[in-house]
Amino acid sequence: MDIATYGVGLFTPVILGAIEISGRTRGLVAQDLTLAKGSGVIDLFLLFGFLLGIWMVPRFGRIRMQAIGFAGMAVGMLMLVVAVGLTNSSLHIPLIFAGFILFNLLMNAGPNSTTFTLAPILFPTQLRATAGGFAAGVAKLGATFGVFLLPILKDRFGVPSVLGIVSAVSLLGLIVTLSLRREDTA
């Protein structure tokens, strides 16, 4: 999850600029302000996702919400891949914002909300702290990978490829979640 979260989250303005949401006819300052506003609107859905997670995780369960979140993240990134190819279409801007909003909303309602709550229910008491520490350590490796490697991949292969990679990583999270799931009562 953190590969996608940090890889996309920290570079949302760069990604928005690369997929041309602001138009190139205005000046640099106007373009930067448009990108900052777009990022701000998109980032509001991170907060809404956490609020949704607070309400949904206890009702639907951690595993189900994690699976729904990973699926939403994958679909959100695929929507962005499609939007990149529709630069001359009236669907371009709405599809970009819908993709980012879906990604942010379901990431925080799902995997980001369940990250620290799964270790206590999945492991016996003697291993819970170790499991939580291991999960946090692996997450930090994913965050580092996302922050440092995805921009290099973007420069080398382009935005659609990076969005596809993030979608694939999210899909992998969904597959692992579903294949390793067990009964989730909370």
Q: Which of 173, 47, 36, 37 is nearest to 105 (CA)?
A: 47
Any domain includes 185 = no
Which domain range does residue 25 map to? 2-180
CA 22 to chain centre: 22
For residue 129, CA distances in Å to 11, 30, 101, 120, 174 come to 32, 49, 34, 8, 24
Give the pLDDT means over successive 10-residue stretches in the chain (186 positions): 81 72 60 71 87 92 93 95 83 87 93 80 86 86 89 89 93 92 56
pLDDT number for residue 185: 42
| Neighbouring C-alpha atoms within 13 Å toward the C-beta of 141 | 6
Using alpha carbons, select from 103, 112, 49 the residue that is nearest to residue 79: 103
Residues 24, 29, 34, 36, CA torsion sign: positive
CATH number of the domain bearing residue 126: 1.20.1250.20
Question: In terms of residues, how long is the chain?
Answer: 186
**pTM listed for this prediction:** 0.84
DSSP code string of 67-125: HHHHHHHHHHHHHHHHHHTTTTSTTHHHHHHHHHHHHHHHHHHTHHHHTTTHHHHHS-G
Q: Which helix (H) or strand (E) covers residue 41, if one does?
A: helix 28-60
Q: In this predicted structure, what is the pLDDT of residue 37?
A: 75
User: Is 169 a member of any domain?
Assistant: yes
Report pLDDT for 186: 46
Give the per-residue pLDDT at 172: 95
Distance of CA 66 to the CA centre of its chain: 12
Identify the pLDDT of residue 118.
79
**Contact (CB, 8 A) for 171 and 70:** yes
Cα–Cα distances (Å) from 119 to 24, 40, 130, 139, 160, in that order, read 48, 32, 9, 13, 34
The answer to whether residue 38 sits within a structural domain is yes
Is 153 within a domain?
Answer: yes
- Split into its structural domains, the chain has a count of 1
State how far Cα 135 lies from the chain centre.
18
Distance from C-alpha of 36 to C-alpha of 40, rounded to nearest angstrom:
6
